[in-house]
Amino acid sequence: MDTKELLKKVRKIEIKTRRLSDHIFGGEYHSTFKGRGMTFSEVRQYQYGDDVRSIDWNVTARYNEPFVKVFEEERELTMMLMVDISGSELFGTVNQFKKDVITEISATLAFSALQNNDKAGLILFSDEIELFIPPKKGKSHVLRIIRELLEFSPKSKKTDLTEALKYLSNVMKKRAIVFILSDFMTEDYERTLKIVGNKHDVTGIRVFDPKEEQMMNLGMVQMQDSETGNIHLINTQSKKVRRAYEKYYHERNAYFKTTFTKSGSGILSCRVDESYVKKLLGYFKQRG
C-alpha cells in the first residue's frame, strides 16, 4: 500500500469512526468505564482523625507504628487494544474481511478514549507479539494506531492468545480497560485470562463470518489452512466431515464464552454483516 492510498484509507476510517465515537459512544464509554472506584496510591503514617479501617496492618506490624493506605480516585484511564492479526482474520464472504471490521471497531474505541482524554495503546499479536504501541493521548497517536491496524504485515499467521495476555501483564502494571479483538479460534488461555481479568477490566470482542459457522456441501474441495498454509483435499459431501467441522467451530465459540465469563470479563460477538455500532452501544448500556 503506497503512502497516498494509506492516508486516504486512514482518513476514511477516521471520518466514519470518529463521528460514531463523538456522537454515540463518547457518553456511553464515559459512563461505563469512568470513575469505577478508587485505586491504591501509597501508604503513610497514621494521623489523628484517619479512618481506622484504612490501616495497613502488614506495614504497621513491620514498623511497629500505624500506617494507613492512601487511595485516589481513578480519573484518567488507560485503554489497551489487543488485536489478533493472525491469518484467520483475512477471511470474509460478505462485504468485508474480519480484519476490516476489527480495524473499524478498534478505531471507534480509540477515538472514544481520545474524547474522554484517556490514553490508548495497541498490541498486535499472532503467536508472538508483532507490535506494541505504549499508551498515549492525542489525535496523532490514535491516527498512528489506525495506520498500523491498516498496513502492518505480521511475521506469523498463527495465533497464541496466552502469550499475548502474558505480555500485557508484563507491560501494564496499572489497571487498564482492555479490549481483545479476535475470532478466538484458539484455546488453552483460561488460566492466563483469569490472572489478567483480576487486575484489568477485560472485554473480548469476537468477530466472525456467517459462512464459518457451518461447512457447505461443495463436493471435493482444496482448502488451505490460513494459519499454517497447509493445503488439504476435503470431501465436503461427507456429513461426518461437516459435523466434525461444526463441532470444532462451536466448541471454540463455547470455550470463548465460558472462559471469559468465568474470569469476570465481558463478551461481545459481532458478525461481519451485522452492525457493530448497535452491538457496542448495547454492550456499553448493559454495563453502564
pLDDT for position 288: 65
Q: Is the pLDDT of residue 228 over 90?
A: no
3-state secondary structure 33-68: HCCCCEEEEEEEECCCCCCHHHECHHHHHHHCCCEE
Q: Is the pLDDT of residue 235 over 70?
A: yes
Q: Is the pLDDT of residue 7 over 70?
A: yes
Q: Which residues contact 21 (CB under 8 A, 6 or more apart)?
A: 29, 108, 109, 111, 112, 114, 115
pLDDT for position 5: 77
* Cα 46 to Cα 119: distance, rounded to the nearest angstrom: 34
Domain boundaries of the chain, sorted by first residue: 3-34+76-287, 38-73
pLDDT for position 242: 85
Architecture category of domain 3-34+76-287 in CATH: 3-Layer(aba) Sandwich (3.40)
**Structure confidence at residue 19 as a pLDDT band (50, 70, 90):** confident
User: Picking from 26-30, 85-89, 115-119, 126-130, which range would have the lowest pLDDT averaged per residue?
Assistant: 26-30
- Look up the pTM and report it: 0.80
Q: What are the tens digits of pLDDT across the range 164-179? A: 999 999 999 888 999 9
User: Picking from 96-100, 124-128, 209-213, 229-233, which range would have the lowest pLDDT averaged per residue?
Assistant: 229-233
